[in-house]
Amino acid sequence: MTPTQFSDPRREKMRFRPFKAMAHFRNLIRDKEDTEQVFHIFEALPRRAFWAEAKAFCESAKGRALMKSEPFLPVILDDHDALLKLPEGSVAHAYVAFMRREGLSAAGLVAESEKMRRGRPVFQDQIQWYGNRLRDTHDLLHILTGYGRDALGEQCALGFTYGQDRAWGSLLIAWAGAFELRRRFGKDAPVYAAVAQAQRHGKVAQKIFEQDIRALLAEPLEAARQRLNIGSPTQYHRAHQHYHAKGIDPYNFLAAPAAA
């Protein structure tokens, strides 16, 4: 159903609570798979421009069209059978392979975000639709940028996201997470350079969450990256090379040698 009002009048004004955000970040550091903490961080660090940008997009011709054609992205993204009917080498095929390999689903990400909303009213307004697209395109962003789901890959993905939407939550997790990686596993790997490059790439690229996702999924992967102006993650790959040279698996830091 297409939402008709931009903001439900029952919505409470968001408050900037940095100490609450840091408490949830510490929880996330203890368990990077505890995705619920990410949503708490974003809620505690709202940005003023979000409402204006959401309103501008929802009132645009493209935004109105996407509200009708893509009311809820997880339904599209989790229909793997339909996605695999698209051409080989497409964004869709890469996305399905990634999600199956990682044991993920778009519905699972929705469920994590809903944990923090228990007992709260549900709003079916346009700002909710816009915010949902930011959430639901996260794993698609991994495919388009080339950043994996390793610890550094997640920091880089959020650095890219900050370049796109300037959300304080993305900035905090990206850079505080990068600091933790350097503190725990040494300063040789270009961790800060990787996150900074991701942030620059996000800033100059077209906004992924404002794309026609159905059309994007059907594009050849490399052609989509070129059209969206997404650069190659060279610093991220360099960091992985440094970790491998030290005998550290970047996808399994818990198994890193004690000397690291």
pLDDT band at 93 (very low <50, low <70, confident <90, very high): very high
| DSSP label of 255 | G
The reported pLDDT for the residue numbered 259 is 40
Mean pLDDT across 53-71:
96
Is pLDDT of 257 > 60? no
| Neighbour-count burial for 178-203, b at 16+ CB within 10 Å, e otherwise | bebbeeebbeebbbbebbbbbbebbe
Q: What is the mean pLDDT of residues 110-119?
A: 83
Indicate the pLDDT class of residue 255, thresholds 50, 70 and 90.
low
Residue type, 21: A
Domain extent for 55: 18-255
Mean pLDDT of the 187-211 span: 97
Is residue 10 a part of any domain in this protein? no
- Number of domains composing the chain: 1
In a domain, 147, yes or no: yes
Q: What is the pLDDT of residue 118?
A: 75
Which two structure tokens, joined as six digits, stand for 75? Answer: 């339904």
Do the domain assignments include residue 25?
Answer: yes
Helix 91-102 vs helix 138-145: crossing angle, to nearest 10: 110
The pLDDT value recorded for residue 20 is 86
d(CA 78, CA 42): 24
pLDDT (mean) for 251-259: 61
Share of the chain above pLDDT 70, in %: 97
Q: Which of 171 and 24 is assigned the larger pLDDT?
A: 171
C-beta neighbour count of 102 within 10 angstroms? 12
pLDDT digits (tens, 9 = 90+) for 137-183: 999 999 999 999 999 999 999 999 999 999 999 999 999 999 999 99
Is residue 234 included in any domain, yes or no?
A: yes
Residue 154 inside a domain? The answer is yes
For residue 5, being part of any structural domain is answered with: no
Highest mean pLDDT among 4-13, 20-29, 87-96, 180-189: 87-96
Q: Which pLDDT score, from 0 to 100, does residue 256 have?
A: 54
Rounded CA-CA distance 166/136 in Å is 17
Res 102: pLDDT? 95
In-domain check, residue 72: yes
CA 257/CA 246 separation, integer angstroms: 9
Confidence of residue 258 (pLDDT cuts 50, 70, 90): very low
Give 84-141 as a DSSP string: TTSPTTBHHHHHHHHHHHHT--HHHHHHHHHHTTTTSPP--SHHHHHHHHHHHTHHHH
Domain for residue 260, yes or no? Answer: no
